[in-house]
Structure 1
């Protein structure tokens, strides 16, 4: 599973999955369900902005989302 995934969840609705790694050392987790296609940009823009500001040197998006998710859940 890749670092970011969209899975169709009905007409014009998607599940958003984050955190997977192409090496399959970490699997993605569901972030949101039933996101309307017109709302995808509203979800992704802040995620990518925070990643750009807060990531470690050469940290992939999947590594970043896993690190942040672990920190939030503690």
Structure 2
């Protein structure tokens, strides 16, 4: 990964116009101070692909962690539980 970034990151960064927004206009940050709030935000993120009509169920989205949390199935990376 380090080698990949060393080779490709400079060209990527050179193509970024710093006058443009990085986040969407409606973005806002939110500090998470409790496990309950973290679970709420995680559920919201898990359901984003469902809301956008990309999948019918959050566990079908291959880029999310819903399969791990709900079905205890691997998603390709290590997940740390919010216990």
Choose between structure 1 and 2 for higher RCO, CA contacts under 8 A separated by at least 6 residues. Answer: 1
Q: Which protein has the bigger helix share?
A: 2
The verdict on a shared fold, with TM-score over 0.5 as the criterion, is no
Q: Which protein has the bigger strand share?
A: 1
- TM-score between the two structures when normalised by the length of structure 1: 0.28
Bigger-Rg structure (1/2): 2
